[in-house]
Structure 1
Amino acid sequence: MGIPRLISTLEPYVVHGTLNGEHVVIDGPALAYHILYICNRHGIPQPSYKILGETALAWLDELIRRDVSVEAIYFDGSLPPAKEPVRMQRMVKSLNQLKDFHSSDINGFFPAFFSVPDETPPTLFSATKPAGKSAVPPSFHVPAIIDALRFCPRYTKLVHLVPGEADAYCAQHLSESGGTVLTSDSDLLVHDLGEGSVVFLRDIYLDGQSNLSCASFSSAYICEKLKLGSSAEICRFAYERKCSPHSTVPQLLQDCTRPVADKAGYTEFCHEYLAHVVAPIPVSTQGTPIQIGSLDPRISEMVLQLGQQDRQTNQTKDDIKIFLPILLECPSRGSAWEQSTPIRQLAYTIARLTIPGASSTIQEYRRVNTVVQKGRQVPILPEQAAKAWAQDLTRLMSRIKATTQGDTARAWHILCLTLDVRYCHEEGKHSHTLQTLEEYLKKTAFKKVSWDYIHFVAHLQAAYYSFRLLKQMLSLEQPNMGFPELKDMLLSLPSLAEFPSVENTMVFLQESGEARIYKIVAKSVPLPDVDVDVKPKRVAKDKKRKISKENTMKAKAGVAKSATRNLFDVLAHHS
């Protein structure tokens, strides 16, 4: 979270220079948010995952072009228990940001909001700030940038997902080897960096000679100027700044010479910076260490919990948590994560079968309204039930692929839509996905991207990411566990850069008349009295309609009239 006013307090002691020829390590989460900041500054409030990845690679290429030696890029792979309250606060803040975003324009947005304004690449190093308030971040932008780095031969070996916090690993690297850390987190000024220094990402700019100029915070130099003898003393100085945000530097230095008023609070403060928390690596049922290096950060957090012991009982933890990213969805509707719960339930079950332990549920945190809110309990399936569910998935996908003439991306879209509609049918709930399919396949012109449509896309994104979670859990699976067909099916799962977006989903809907998407979904969902060859008729809307009425609507839907124009082009025309 950083320490308020610490940077401004230490600014008089910065050293101005260039990054050219320097050895650096990079705080990965800070880099991911800085790349998003660059895109926002360029006028792209909702950049695609492809654009985010390309911008991250271009930014790093500029460093390499100026002989900057990037030695490592660290990403968080574990959430220390002491940081859970901070995570909950951030989840509440993100949900409130989504609510504010929704209330700012309940009628939706013009399509330009979700597309690239022009072909000009973003200015990578600039002091210009984005116009207006920051938009809701894309849900999976951190793992999307990690993917781009992992898939790039130039940078794949530099990416390290660590069983702790990235800033601690950056600090340890500098303490042992020297160099500079690139970050946005003022907390790194408090760590023991040895002879290392800190450069903040937003302070890097191109000077008149095209050098990467920056302001560098050197721990050793700051300690020398403030007459602080060690990293422990700069930790005390930072603590006093946190306690007294308006004191002058001489007052803070004077406070450092006095006994600490709150010894317990000071000890807790120092512990974060001087004692780095590293989660133990779980061991599989075969006795081999679990490899977390290829996982997404929040998925890694959950996996590392599966093998942890409770300090009091010495038993494996029974309160395993996963914090699902906030989706760009309509906050007045139910969470778009709900309908894809069975996919994640299978993923959690495979994780539990792979890593032995006593926990029988996973707590999912989706929308967090208060910091004391409990997660949604998702029970672990019996092994045979998990295998039956996996077999059902692979059979359904095989049937869908047989109708899509080798179009794998379309097959994944249809599978996710089918599972979504089927879940609502089995739970006796109204299907927003089914309603949206019916409505959008009949429209020929759209002035705005509505929140109903945005919520529809969120359903698709939630299902895709649930399959990504499942794929990553299967990557940990031990030989002969019994899911080979499911593994094969997931090999074709699109990358995050190819995930459903507002723009490409409109193209999918535009083409769905010809591809008979609606008809395929109707055939795959076990709804009674469905005649997919009946010509679609308009069904009266009734929010309180019963399941039988939903079935009637489905039966009457049939094959919707094919759109004659690209829907996104139509939207752009009206903007």
Structure 2
Amino acid sequence: MGIPHLLSTLEKLRRPASRSFSSDGGREQLPAAVIDGSALAHFIFNCCVKTFRDRTADVLAFDYAAYQRAVVRWLEDLEAGFTITHIFIDGHLPSYKTDTRTSRVQKAVTDLARLRTLSPAAIDLRKSPWTPTPPFLIAAFTDAVYCHERYRHVVRTVPGEADAFCAGAASEYQGGEAVIFTADSDLLVYPSKPHVRIAMLGDMAFEDAEDGRTVKVTLWTPAEIDALLGGDGNLLRFAWVLHHDSLRAAHITSTFPSAAASVVKERGKVLGGVLVPPVFQEQYTLPPRELYFSSTDDTPPVILDSRAAEVVYRSRSFSSLAHPRSKEADVTVYLPVLFEDVTKKSAWNVGLRVRKLAYSILFDNSTMLSEACRKAAGVTHRYINLSTTADAGKLADEVAAVPTLGDTRAVLVYVVSQVIIEHSQAGSPLEKTDILALLAAITHSPSLFEIPAIPTEEWTWPRVQLLAQVYAGLWSMYLLSVATTVTGNTDSELQQRLAAMPKMVEALNVRRFMAVYAIMPRVGKKARKRARKRVKTGEGDEGDDLGRVVGRLFREGDIQGVLEILGGQEGGSGDSADDGSGGEDEYMGMTVG
């Protein structure tokens, strides 16, 4: 919870110190770096946004791989002056965040609706100052850290807000200075020892010097500020005064007119009489020490996505780890906000059955569980009737009916089939080009040409709605995978397929999806005929059975076959280029075309 004007007010009392750290500075031991990973993930994303050339394409087809490289570079640069000891990711947000979270979701939906009005046909993000957050940003950040040989041992998805765990780990550090890197001024309010410093991510820089790389930071010392305010926890009281509007008017303007040292003692006396409500105090209590230092068998493994982690830490098996404990018996799952068309039904209709199964594995049937997601231009809470675990076997059979056994992309093809069925049942079946684009998005066959730049006018709302539905299906499958991993309670065949599922950030190639729309008008009749023949005969590169998989999918799903999908395309530039050498190239190297 933010404290209004906290830093600007405290700066009048004591300006933070600006210091530079370097491994070549002659220090025997570098300070420890304790990082609020959730804050850093968004900070690096905002840095990436500043470098985007085509804002629409670079945001909607966000390059997760490039982002992950930027994350690793930032951590490596930080090591020039610090030893990274902890990276904490939010894994559970307490009940007192409910209003804040709902308002944030509503703001994102409102921004989405406003953009939909400003760009009714082709999407142009230049028409709005709002920059949507990629749906798997935290998962991409955590995965980049966890897959790194040096950093994987210091990252944890914690059963609470990352800032509380950062404050606790820094205070417990025994090797000298410990610096918490964050974007949240609330870190100053937590109890801390004299060796703890706070560095705001926006007030730091990496610099090159004659003696090597340096890290320049602006450091706040909470214990020192608390002492200037009279000690005895007066910094917490001061934060409450700033937070509470009625007290802010009474105390800030009259009692604290200046930051002169001569009145500091008097401030302490005034603050000593301020009563801080227990609910506010609870927000700034430190978690038990074992929660951020132990890695026992009772602790779930690293969960890449914060929203999935939150579901786990509300479950019957892991709720006892949550800090602070949830006071609500009912469970609300805040689904990631997707970039979608507000005039259509929520993309989260896709994957609902899969999520129900995941919830059933984690929660008792008596649990009142709801999902918070978009409905039109607002936010709704949809109550979920939990499935029975017997449905796991049925789902496994459905997934098994799509690809051949052992295909690592089985789950992806299943997700695409669910998107197609969703449109068919709604009475608005997908166009054949849309289906081919979806198949292209999940295909990792090598492209035989460079994917062209996608003109802005190609980014239409129906297309981003398709992408949002695939994202919803992927996240639902990931949640089910997490549920089966932490409990080991599901059909073994389904668990095998879920384990083989590609990572969320690698599963969907948005640029290939969009390229289909740019390429299809140029495809000649002979090229389409050869593509049909390849699918029919199951030809393709050795080891790539996607053609047979897709053919089976559409035939058994009673949806128009791939032959009709390719053969029914209208238009094109004629057959002058169809001399027997370029048909497959036109279809991006895919076995299906």
Give CA deviations for 1:371-410 in whole Å, capped at 9, x if unaligned. 9x652122222232332222222232338x8xxxx7x55x
* 8 Å contact from structure 2 (residues 345, 376) kept in 1: no
AA of the residue aligned to 1:327: L
* 8 Å contact from structure 2 (residues 403, 553) kept in 1: no
Correspondence 1:240 to 2:272: no
Correspondence 1:58 to 2:73: yes
> Matched residue of 1:199: which SS?
strand
* 8 Å contact from structure 1 (residues 433, 459) kept in 2: no
Deviation at 1:337, TM superposition (A): 1.4
- In structure 1, the partner of 2:428 is 430
The 1:108/1:13 distance shift into structure 2, 3 A limit, reads: same
Deviation at 1:451, TM superposition (A): 1.6
Aligned mates of 1:275, 1:531 — CA distance in 2: 59
* 8 Å contact from structure 2 (residues 81, 215) kept in 1: no
The 1:319/1:227 distance shift into structure 2, 3 A limit, reads: closer
- In structure 1, the partner of 2:219 is 216
Unaligned runs of 5+ in 1: 114-129, 282-287, 540-561, 568-575
Instruction: Pick the aligned partner of 1:86 from 82, 89, 100.
Output: 100
Aligned mates of 2:311, 2:290 — CA distance in 1: 11
Deviation at 1:97, TM superposition (A): 2.4
Deviation at 1:158, TM superposition (A): 0.7
- In structure 1, the partner of 2:464 is 454
Aligned mates of 2:331, 2:115 — CA distance in 1: 31
Aligned mates of 1:223, 1:522 — CA distance in 2: 67
Instruction: Pick the aligned partner of 1:473 from 469, 478, 483.
Output: 483
Q: How does 1:136-285 map to 2 (within 5 A)?
A: 136-177=132-173, 178-195=177-194, 196-207=196-207, 209=209, 210-224=213-227, 226-230=228-232, 232-242=233-243, 243=245, 244=248, 247=253, 250-251=256-257, 257-258=269-270, 263=275, 266-274=277-285, 276=287
- In structure 2, the partner of 1:381 is 387
> Matched residue of 1:366: which SS?
strand
TM-score, scaled relative to structure 2: 0.73
Instruction: Pick the aligned partner of 1:499 from 500, 507, 516.
Output: 507
> Matched residue of 1:398: which SS?
coil
* 8 Å contact from structure 1 (residues 78, 297) kept in 2: yes
Instruction: Pick the aligned partner of 1:523 from 539, 543, 555.
Output: 555
- In structure 1, the partner of 2:20 is 18
* 8 Å contact from structure 2 (residues 142, 304) kept in 1: no
Unaligned runs of 5+ in 2: 23-29, 259-263, 440-451, 536-546, 571-582, 589-593
Deviation at 1:329, TM superposition (A): 1.4
Aligned mates of 2:122, 2:365 — CA distance in 1: 46
Aligned mates of 1:563, 1:420 — CA distance in 2: 26
- In structure 2, the partner of 1:489 is 497
* 8 Å contact from structure 1 (residues 295, 472) kept in 2: no
The 1:501/1:220 distance shift into structure 2, 3 A limit, reads: same
* 8 Å contact from structure 1 (residues 171, 188) kept in 2: yes
* 8 Å contact from structure 1 (residues 364, 375) kept in 2: yes
* 8 Å contact from structure 2 (residues 115, 127) kept in 1: no
- In structure 2, the partner of 1:105 is 119
AA of the residue aligned to 2:166: C
> Matched residue of 2:284: which SS?
helix
Q: Which of 73-82 and 490-499 deviates more?
A: 490-499
The 1:173/1:108 distance shift into structure 2, 3 A limit, reads: same
Task: Report sequence identity in percent.
Answer: 22
Aligned mates of 2:431, 2:165 — CA distance in 1: 43
The 1:278/1:346 distance shift into structure 2, 3 A limit, reads: farther
The 1:68/1:57 distance shift into structure 2, 3 A limit, reads: same
AA of the residue aligned to 2:300: Q
* 8 Å contact from structure 1 (residues 339, 420) kept in 2: yes
The 1:450/1:369 distance shift into structure 2, 3 A limit, reads: closer
The 1:351/1:259 distance shift into structure 2, 3 A limit, reads: closer
Deviation at 1:316, TM superposition (A): 11
AA of the residue aligned to 2:498: L
> Matched residue of 1:273: which SS?
coil
Give CA deviations for 1:510-564 in whole Å, capped at 9, x if unaligned. 699647577555313135xx6775686589xxxxxxxxxxxxxxxxxxxxxx897
* 8 Å contact from structure 1 (residues 241, 247) kept in 2: no
The 1:4/1:386 distance shift into structure 2, 3 A limit, reads: same
Aligned mates of 2:432, 2:355 — CA distance in 1: 21
The 1:221/1:13 distance shift into structure 2, 3 A limit, reads: farther
Q: How does 1:130-141 map to 2 (within 5 A)?
A: 133-141=129-137
Deviation at 1:323, TM superposition (A): 1.0
> Matched residue of 1:201: which SS?
strand
- In structure 2, the partner of 1:36 is 45
TM-score, scaled relative to structure 1: 0.75
Aligned mates of 2:93, 2:19 — CA distance in 1: 35
- In structure 2, the partner of 1:549 is none
Q: Which of 46-55 and 155-164 deviates more?
A: 46-55
> Matched residue of 1:274: which SS?
coil
Q: Which of 80-89 and 446-455 deviates more?
A: 446-455
The size of the alignment, in residue pairs, is 497
Aligned mates of 2:133, 2:205 — CA distance in 1: 24
* 8 Å contact from structure 1 (residues 6, 238) kept in 2: yes
Give CA deviations for 1:267-323 in whole Å, capped at 9, x if unaligned. 432221136599999xxxxxx8462533522112112222259xxxx9997622211
AA of the residue aligned to 1:49: Y
> Matched residue of 2:217: which SS?
strand
Aligned mates of 1:315, 1:6 — CA distance in 2: 27
> Matched residue of 1:376: which SS?
strand
Deviation at 1:94, TM superposition (A): 1.8
Correspondence 1:304 to 2:313: yes
Give CA deviations for 1:233-278 in whole Å, capped at 9, x if unaligned. 1111122223427738834866653378984x64432221136599
Aligned mates of 1:336, 1:418 — CA distance in 2: 14
> Matched residue of 2:404: which SS?
helix
> Matched residue of 1:327: which SS?
coil
AA of the residue aligned to 1:71: T
Correspondence 1:363 to 2:362: no
Aligned mates of 1:168, 1:362 — CA distance in 2: 27
The 1:525/1:145 distance shift into structure 2, 3 A limit, reads: same
Deviation at 1:55, TM superposition (A): 0.8
- In structure 1, the partner of 2:579 is none
Aligned mates of 1:131, 1:55 — CA distance in 2: 27
AA of the residue aligned to 1:378: I
Aligned mates of 2:344, 2:39 — CA distance in 1: 32
> Matched residue of 2:500: which SS?
coil
AA of the residue aligned to 1:172: G
The 1:397/1:257 distance shift into structure 2, 3 A limit, reads: farther
Aligned mates of 2:10, 2:397 — CA distance in 1: 60
Aligned mates of 2:337, 2:584 — CA distance in 1: 32
* 8 Å contact from structure 1 (residues 319, 359) kept in 2: no
Give CA deviations for 1:390-446 in whole Å, capped at 9, x if unaligned. 2222232338x8xxxx7x55x554322212223454x554345778337999xx996
